[in-house]
Structure 1
Amino acid sequence: MAKPTPPSPLSSPHAIVCKFGGTSIGTAARMLQVADIVQTAISNGGPVVVVLSAMSSNIKAEGTTSRLLEAADDVMNPESTRYLDIVDGICASHLRAVDEALPVEAVEERARVGKEVRDECDRLKGFLSAAQVINEMSPRSRDNVIGTGEKLSALVFTSVLRSRSLNPTYVNLEKLIQKQFDAGTIDQSFYDYLSSRLSTLIGPLLPHSVPVVTGYLGPVPGSLLTTIGRGYTDLTAALIAVGTGADELQIWKEVDGIFTADPRKVPLARMVPFITPEEAAELTYYGSEVIHPFTMEQVIRAAIPIRIKNAFRPEGAGTVIVPEGWQPPQHAEVLETLTPKGTRIPKPGHAQQQHPPTPAAEEEGDDDTPRPTAVTIKDHITVLNVHSNRKSVSHGFFAHIFLSLDRHGIVVDLISTSEVHVSMALSPNVNEGNLEKALVELRKYGTVDVIRNMSILSLVGKKLRNMVGSAGLMFATLGRHGVNIEMISQGASEINISCVIEEEKASEALVAVHDELIVGIMPL
């Protein structure tokens, strides 16, 4: 089936959409750093659209969104008023950011944004109090509560940019959706509608203003967290990039880009300058926090590159997720922004990454050996083995198993099957209560074994399709290091080879596979 045609974007030449995560703007000092980044991007050609998450600390549970969800839960306790204290704390932290981020002489600006923050928090307290009275917190109501975080951060940051005379415009998306959609049939047409609406709202502001947009999309059919999840601000930025026909989407995080492995665990891990969408999606699913695959799909289908950059080290080039057939912009000033000095622009259709050379190749200055892109580990995996009791061997054997798991909300990451046996690697942090209920059902169909404390090791690379014997090399490497393999799976895309190993061996296995297969250091 042909892909649906994306909405025609409103013309906004050279536009860059910059999305900043909650940690990047978590304090006044960090907001000022982000303001520097935006100011530099504008001076390099602009225009720039800024999309913000709610302010957060390095600990997710202490972030504004988590605290708002805590307040929403507290409302259901008719005797509690702690939700009011939570909102007061959120208000105080944002007023502190205003006080520390704005110049002392900006008296009117301080007063204006201070009032906006207090009014927003008072509105929220009134909303929560009403919800407590009627003893109801619907999914739509929870959407309204968590949206306060993005509104507050955008209000404060708009004020910071205004104090620098950058002509920002605060854009609140809480009323973006103006059509009825069935929560059970959300498909691409819904996201095309959002892109079109965002084009209408934001396009006219460019290039004369800097839109500062709430990452909150407003109440979404089926609820924001259920339909989209906590990564909804990334999706908002992606849809804005599509709707405005941006030249690039930049996702600013706390890491320099995408690495060949987790640099905290693998000393020789190196950043990947360019990567394909398929590789990025596989890495995200199997343990690397890159960008949500569905968010990425919205931008890639519109042939817009995504750059992952570090808000704390903005001078780095980052990693570019390059759509197939992407053509670099024909504008020199934009090309300078998209491609810092020393970074190679890939040829259209050949956006493969630059692999780190082997030590021998470093001396020669070149290495054309095809290698995988990256290796990743996903910990806290539970393996479920179901061996048929043979009386139930039929075409319905697998159907019964997966229907049982689905009924109890259990997600399967990997599957390996034979005629009478199925092994499944379950996603981390599986709900133990739900798992026990599923096991009762599964034992009707055969013998069930549960193995805990396992990890999924995944080798990812588009070039794996052309690398004969790569699976054998991977398994031979693990064997030399005494790593036992519980199950093996290779995706239909042929760019991912995964296996399940003991969690206590995961770190050693990660380093070994990375150094031997990606860097090219052969064992003595």
Structure 2
Amino acid sequence: MPPTTHLPSPPDPSSLHAEAGTVNGEGKASWIVQKYGGTSVGKQLHTIANVIAPSYLANRNVRLAIVCSARSGQTKALGTTNLLLQAASEALQSVDEDNPEGSNSMSNSVSSLSGLGGGGNTPQSAFSRSARSLSRRGGLRSNDSSPALASSRSNSGLEALSLSEQSSPASIGYNATVDKIMQDHLDAVKKAVTRNDKARETLESEIIDDCERLRDFLMAAKIIEEISPKSKDIIMSIGERLSCRIVVGALLDAGIEAELVGMESIVDAAFLEEVSSKGGPKTAAADEVMLDQSFYDLLAVKMAERLEQVKGVPVVTGYFGNVPGSLLSQVGRGYTDLCAALCAVGLHASELQIWKEVDGVFTADPRKVSTARLIPAITPEEAAELTYYGSEVIHPFTMEQAIKNSVPIRIKNVENPSGGGTVIFPPTSLQSLQNASELDMMGGHLIQPQTPGASGTSTPWGSNPLAAMVHGGAASTLGTPPEPRPRKLPTAVTIKDDVWVLNVHSNRKTLSHGFFARIFGTLDRHGVVVDLISTSEVHVSMALHSSQPGLRRSRTVDRLRAELGSLGTVSLLKDMAILSLVGTQMRNMVGVAGKMFATLAEGNINIEMISQGANEINISCVIHKRNALKALNLIHYSVLEVSPKANNLESGNFGRSFF
């Protein structure tokens, strides 16, 4: 059952066609780009198609574009992307043809979970092989001249499947994984498309075709015994295409005109030639291709041109083609967010919305701090710091692409569509001020802009006057009495777990000017990333996230300690955590650092190391992991609560109990 929301009742679905959002009073519609994660598509597709999309399309001055990640039924670990990567790995595994069951136990375990719905023990290989045969004969093709004929062929084909399944052996290896992916998406189609039989049959045929092409691709990789980085890109792109197909089907079933838009052909030879004429991409000394900003700028323009051609709602795949150096290597698995940001930039969108399963960004993790508050608006710098130190917001590079082009990013909750969420944007409307410190001295803070179409208004981003952005002293310049200045507070506090502290104390046999160079040279050779650092002339303390690839193997850690041992005494502290207090105004908050450390001392929490960045946006310290929850609540209560009191049952009692 979808969650109950307080959005206005969606209009008649039959009215939500291509005319919606085509023209506003100025002759051009405002675009809103929405990006949905895999779990949102997997668990809240009904809400997306029947509540969220209609509520925006009800305003004819708004056009909507949707970007989807590969779907996940329950968790990311069991999602389509991980299954695709598993299939790619299985394709390179050697299988004993005479004894397949004993040669690939993991594949067999996957196959055992991939039943065809009812029984759970129905072999999948028969289904896929017969489906492929039917598809290639035209039995499940979507372009049959007669829908009735296509339906008849489908039904007869499925009857044939039920007869052949009984004698066929269970699939193993990558075949079993592909079968699981295919069946998961076919089951999702049955739930998503319930009113349009023709659309459902066509969608099922397309999903079967996509999965069979994936199977053929993996078979080719198995034959040549190689999967290149670009081949892995193509394998992963199947997940987004399958997800987008289902979203298109759900929108069509709800009466909303939609179209699948694949971006895989955007980066072609002509595109790369045009980028090269502007100076990029470049190749580093180690033959590593580096994509510069000109590549992403042109990519945004080309994406927008493609989306402008769509009459209805474009549903966009996150994979955007044969990127030099491979997409996974250049961007990573967050490339779907980047695609959404580039679409928003190219379309000059009023807003980029990232839909998650949380209401937005909080002053602390609400699962750990009961009095954590939703933050209506934060700056990009704060969002980047929170992302790096444990609170997943949005990747800083993806955020940069949107923010530098004045496209605000709103974090929304797919389970609570009526919530305002959290907006990430810089104070661009305050450029008339001499510098940002004037805003800090006035005690100002950012106010959320309104989303076009969300509340019956179409106020464009950036049209609010200065008075709407600043509270306090600035209001008096408009002839109104200044409001009481709010107490200056940091923005949020966060914890990053699973941290190690590596200490190196010089034996003074090494010259001080080479001490740091040799330390970081050693870390670089082992691929170790440092989160925090605190130094003196002969001593270095570094906080390292223990789950990073460079520290996963104990042998690597031993070698690292041995090499650093030539520089001096080395010690390694495990089971630590990084506590970070974040806020753009902290540089002018006298006494905040003292209050933070005094609170920890009062709570009898020892501090292993302290670090503060040059930008003065955050103050971080390393504490023992066992004290992380206690420290988080103490700092939130003492530093982030507006009026902390010992007997404040609403906002302070929970934190006070930790003293």
TM-score, reference length from structure 2: 0.72
After superposition, what is the alpha-carbon deviation per residue over 1:278-298, rounded to whole angstroms, capped at 9, x for unaligned?
111110100001111111000
Cα distance change of structure 1 residues 476 and 331 upon mapping to structure 2, 3 Å threshold: closer
Cα distance change of structure 1 residues 434 and 345 upon mapping to structure 2, 3 Å threshold: farther
**How far apart, in 2, do the equivalents of 1:40 and 1:398 lie?**
57
Cα distance change of structure 1 residues 122 and 440 upon mapping to structure 2, 3 Å threshold: same
Residue aligning to 1:388: 506
Letter in 2 for 1:383: V
Q: CA deviation at 1:103?
A: 2.0
Task: Note if 1:504 corresponds to 2:519.
Answer: no
Q: CA deviation at 1:510?
A: 0.2
Residue aligning to 2:373: 270
**How far apart, in 2, do the equivalents of 1:423 and 1:241 lie?**
42
The two structures, once aligned, show a CA RMSD in angstroms of 2.6
Q: CA deviation at 1:331?
A: 10
**How far apart, in 2, do the equivalents of 1:405 and 1:246 lie?**
42
Q: Percent identity?
A: 49
Letter in 2 for 1:78: S
Task: Note if 1:189 corresponds to 2:280.
Answer: no
2:590 alignment partner, one of 468, 493, 498: 468
**How far apart, in 2, do the equivalents of 1:115 and 1:259 lie?**
43
Q: CA deviation at 1:332?
A: 9.7
1:199 alignment partner, one of 282, 293, 304: 304
Secondary structure at the counterpart of residue 406 of structure 2? coil
With 433-442 and 265-274 compared, the bigger mean Cα shift is at: 433-442
Residue aligning to 2:615: 493
Q: CA deviation at 1:434?
A: 2.7
Q: CA deviation at 1:204?
A: 2.9
Correspondence 1:30-429 to 2 at 5 A: 30-35=44-49, 36-44=51-59, 45-79=61-95, 81-104=172-195, 106-178=196-268, 179-180=271-272, 181=281, 182=283, 183-205=288-310, 208-326=311-429, 334=453, 336=455, 368-429=486-547
TM-score, reference length from structure 1: 0.89
**How far apart, in 2, do the equivalents of 1:159 and 1:514 lie?**
45
Letter in 2 for 1:31: L
Q: CA deviation at 1:522?
A: 4.8
With 14-23 and 223-232 compared, the bigger mean Cα shift is at: 223-232
Letter in 2 for 1:416: S
**How far apart, in 1, do the equivalents of 2:552 and 2:454 lie?**
48
Letter in 2 for 1:172: G
Cα distance change of structure 1 residues 368 and 324 upon mapping to structure 2, 3 Å threshold: closer
**How far apart, in 1, do the equivalents of 2:246 and 2:37 lie?**
15
**How far apart, in 1, do the equivalents of 2:589 and 2:214 lie?**
57
With 439-448 and 268-277 compared, the bigger mean Cα shift is at: 439-448
Number of positions where the alignment pairs a residue of Structure 1 with one of Structure 2: 496
Letter in 2 for 1:98: V
Secondary structure at the counterpart of residue 513 of structure 2? coil
After superposition, what is the alpha-carbon deviation per residue over 1:68-101, rounded to whole angstroms, capped at 9, x for unaligned?
0011111111216411111111111111111111
Q: CA deviation at 1:65?
A: 0.3
Cα distance change of structure 1 residues 159 and 437 upon mapping to structure 2, 3 Å threshold: same
**How far apart, in 2, do the equivalents of 1:329 and 1:511 lie?**
27
With 36-45 and 13-22 compared, the bigger mean Cα shift is at: 36-45
Cα distance change of structure 1 residues 274 and 231 upon mapping to structure 2, 3 Å threshold: same
Secondary structure at the counterpart of residue 150 of structure 1? helix
Q: CA deviation at 1:349?
A: 10
Contact 1:258–1:290 (CA<8 Å) still a contact in 2? yes
Q: CA deviation at 1:309?
A: 0.3
Cα distance change of structure 1 residues 419 and 333 upon mapping to structure 2, 3 Å threshold: closer
2:36 alignment partner, one of 17, 20, 36: 20
**How far apart, in 1, do the equivalents of 2:39 and 2:465 lie?**
35
**How far apart, in 2, do the equivalents of 1:395 and 1:289 lie?**
37
Contact 2:429–2:466 (CA<8 Å) still a contact in 1? yes
**How far apart, in 1, do the equivalents of 2:458 and 2:576 lie?**
41
Secondary structure at the counterpart of residue 169 of structure 1? strand
Secondary structure at the counterpart of residue 148 of structure 1? helix
Secondary structure at the counterpart of residue 453 of structure 1? strand
Letter in 2 for 1:246: A
Residue aligning to 1:516: 638
Secondary structure at the counterpart of residue 309 of structure 2? helix
Letter in 1 for 2:409: I
Q: CA deviation at 1:173?
A: 1.3
Name stretches of at least 5 consecutive residues in structure 2 with no aligned partner.
1-26, 96-103, 105-171, 273-280, 431-446, 473-482, 647-655
Cα distance change of structure 1 residues 492 and 67 upon mapping to structure 2, 3 Å threshold: same
Cα distance change of structure 1 residues 331 and 138 upon mapping to structure 2, 3 Å threshold: closer
**How far apart, in 1, do the equivalents of 2:408 and 2:471 lie?**
14
Cα distance change of structure 1 residues 512 and 438 upon mapping to structure 2, 3 Å threshold: same
After superposition, what is the alpha-carbon deviation per residue over 1:231-255, rounded to whole angstroms, capped at 9, x for unaligned?
1111110010001110000000000
**How far apart, in 2, do the equivalents of 1:350 and 1:283 lie?**
26
Q: CA deviation at 1:337?
A: 6.1
Letter in 1 for 2:300: S
**How far apart, in 2, do the equivalents of 1:158 and 1:70 lie?**
27
Cα distance change of structure 1 residues 305 and 337 upon mapping to structure 2, 3 Å threshold: farther
Name which structure has the greater RCO, CA cutoff 8 Å, separation 6+. Answer: 1
Task: Note if 1:452 corresponds to 2:574.
Answer: yes
Residue aligning to 1:480: 602
Structure number with larger C-alpha Rg? 2
